[in-house]
Structure 1
Amino acid sequence: MPVTPLVSPHLEPEPEPEALLAEVIGLDLPRLALPRTCGGEGADIATLASAVQALARRQPAAALLAWSQCLLAEALARSPNVALREHLLPDLLDGSLAGAVSWSLDFGLVQAPWPVKGRPRDRGWHLSGRLLQVPNLQWAGHVLLCPVWFEPDGPQAARLGWALLRSEEDGLRHALDSSRALTRQAACGTVTLQRVHFREDELLADDAGALALPLRLFDQALRSAWWAGVLQRPTARTHDGSPRP
């Protein structure tokens, strides 16, 4: 008596996050709207948004990864920390390093992300906090962009700045969300920081406002493109023709 397969041969296997990020890199999306001086192609944001929208019609998770990877590249391109940009940007553009952002696709930077807290230590800080719905937490390695509320340190007043945190930092843990296909494919999850040591020379930007405004405009354009592409998708169906939940 033949055995009925558990998985229908008509259903394609679910794509892995690594393969989807490789597709984003293959399309050169993180490089598309970057200035030529940073190794980009110098296109305008509308051209990049159109490409993200087209990708979202075909593969929403890949477009979500593009949103996150492009935001990281844009943040580095605008950072006054030249050494950090020169060190990390090439790895983001060739996909050997994934770019994760600390705010969700649902609201983006329209609603300010809750910052991580930084307590001063010698030539740096200890960072603590918990971040939800973080995309692009690739197993092979990622860097996380997040705002940090730095507590006062002597004559230095409390302030808001931007930090980039590498996935291998001591005290940084992440737990992936496997509850939905989109979160699985886009490697989304929760990131917890417990006394992560952060050096002052690794600050992406000490002036939060100077970086937040251009990032907010960039984020809004790409998020709108993602939603437009997803809403243009035909209704997904199972192998028997019924609507897929």
Structure 2
Amino acid sequence: MISDHLNQWLTEHADLLDSGHINEAELLPKLAADEVFKIGVPTSLGGVGGEVADSVEAIAQVASQSLTAAFVFWGHRAFIEYLLQGDNPELRERLLPSLLSGELAGATGLSNAMKYLAGIESLGIAVRKPIDDSKRLLDGVLPWATNLRKEGFVVAAAVEVENEQPLIAALPSHLAGINRSDDLDLIALRASNTASIKVENASLTDEWVISHSANNFLPQVRPAFLAMQCGMSIGLARRCLVAAKQQLGPTRSALRDDYEGVDRHLSHAGKQLQKGLSKQRFIKHPAELFAIRLTLAEVVANAAQLELQASGGKAYVHNAANGFARRWGEAAFIPIITPSVVQLKAELLRHQEVLFI
């Protein structure tokens, strides 16, 4: 699905992307040049057609070489999905061309909103003062957002509105009052343009509203948000398993059953994800998607551990060529991506309690 050229570039630059020792502005245009952002976007809107499941697979293929690149891919493609499913066609038509070309970076910014939807936390941005029916002043913070490209970005955010439903807004970097922090000092994925946003007295007009009904919009878009996120886990687990299999010689044959078990769980989770997307089950049955996301986080951890065991001591020797140290760090990131493993477990328990009652 991704080209050999992109695959080779990601292979050669994966460690640099992870460490941040690269011009981070290169990544988004490189992905866009391969037209990966057009996957799952209708041809009538400038895409190449397909479904969300196709985007999941493309993200997985990128993640098998670089989780940093896949993280940026996910954030950008998630924002595109918000426009596709939103109720503002003018905004969609205005932003899509520059998003698909990689000229403008899209950031999801809805991690806070997804936690709000699950009752985990309140919204971080609120209308401070309505000016009139179509203009509002905003204040608040997005503590973590990815793909906040310094050359220009637009970030999606849920906004609390007093006595009304929250709305989903697109906040462009050029808007007065949108302040990007320096990049967060991450231990990995450092070329992902991950930073925080402080919103101070920013004026929001209706032309930048993706949806006026966050409570309806978020459950509708959550399957794509989480499924494409799962693509990161699938791709990383695949790569760890490939590396582990290469080491399963006579001295490591005791690990073969473990390898087959992890591979089987990965395959099953991937099929369940594809099936749920095709039948659109996850809108009404989100707990099923939460369970798949949890399973994939466990599969990644097991795959990385298997690669370590199969490689033995040489995995612990600094060697940029084998990429193990990077993948180990990437695997540590999977459980904390919002919604985190802890949050998902709590949400599944809540669903079980409701069913029990």
Q: TM-score range by the shorter chain?
A: 0.7 to 0.9
Please name the residue that 2:233 is paired with. Answer: 227
Do the aligned residues in 2 keep the contact of 1:54 with 1:229 (CA within 8 Å)?
A: yes
Do the aligned residues in 1 keep the contact of 2:113 with 2:157 (CA within 8 Å)?
A: no
Deviations 1:168-188 (A, max 9, x none): 111111111133231x21110
| Alpha-carbon distance in 2 for matches of 1:65, 1:228 | 16
Please name the residue that 1:167 is paired with. Answer: 173
| Alpha-carbon distance in 1 for matches of 2:69, 2:15 | 16
Please name the residue that 2:114 is paired with. Answer: 109
Q: Kindly provide the amino acid, as one letter, of the partner of residue 78 in structure 1.
A: Q
Q: Secondary structure at the match of 2:239?
A: coil
Q: Kindly provide the amino acid, as one letter, of the partner of residue 151 in structure 2.
A: A
Please show how residues 131-142 of structure 1 align to structure 2 within 5 Å: 131-142=142-153
Please name the residue that 2:83 is paired with. Answer: 76
TM superposition score normalised by structure 2 = 0.58
Report the Cα offset of residue 78 of structure 1.
2.0
Do the aligned residues in 1 keep the contact of 2:165 with 2:215 (CA within 8 Å)?
A: no
Do the aligned residues in 1 keep the contact of 2:110 with 2:158 (CA within 8 Å)?
A: no
User: Any runs of at least 4 consecutive aligned residues in structure 1 with deviations exceeding 4 A, and if so which?
Assistant: 240-243
Residue-pair matches, total: 227
Please name the residue that 2:157 is paired with. Answer: 146
Higher helix fraction (1 or 2): 2
Do the aligned residues in 2 keep the contact of 1:17 with 1:185 (CA within 8 Å)?
A: yes
Report the Cα offset of residue 131 of structure 1.
0.9
Report the Cα offset of residue 201 of structure 1.
3.2
User: Cα RMSD (Å) of the superposition?
Assistant: 2.5
Please name the residue that 1:239 is paired with. Answer: 319
Please name the residue that 1:214 is paired with. Answer: 220
Q: Kindly provide the amino acid, as one letter, of the partner of residue 46 in structure 2.
A: G
Q: Secondary structure at the match of 1:220?
A: helix
Which one of 100, 104, 110 corresponds to residue 97 of structure 1?
104
| Alpha-carbon distance in 2 for matches of 1:21, 1:110 | 27
Please name the residue that 1:65 is paired with. Answer: 72
Report the Cα offset of residue 111 of structure 1.
6.0
Do the aligned residues in 2 keep the contact of 1:109 with 1:219 (CA within 8 Å)?
A: no
Q: Kindly provide the amino acid, as one letter, of the partner of residue 208 in structure 1.
A: A
| Alpha-carbon distance in 2 for matches of 1:239, 1:70 | 33
Please name the residue that 1:27 is paired with. Answer: 34
| Alpha-carbon distance in 2 for matches of 1:39, 1:177 | 33
Report the Cα offset of residue 195 of structure 1.
1.0
Larger Rg over CA atoms: 2
Q: Secondary structure at the match of 2:83?
A: helix
Please name the residue that 1:205 is paired with. Answer: 211
Please name the residue that 1:129 is paired with. Answer: 140
| Alpha-carbon distance in 2 for matches of 1:143, 1:21 | 14
Q: Secondary structure at the match of 2:166?
A: strand
With over 3 angstroms needed to count, the CA separation of the structure-2 counterparts of 1:201 and 1:51, relative to structure 1, is closer
Report the Cα offset of residue 210 of structure 1.
3.4
With over 3 angstroms needed to count, the CA separation of the structure-2 counterparts of 1:115 and 1:37, relative to structure 1, is farther
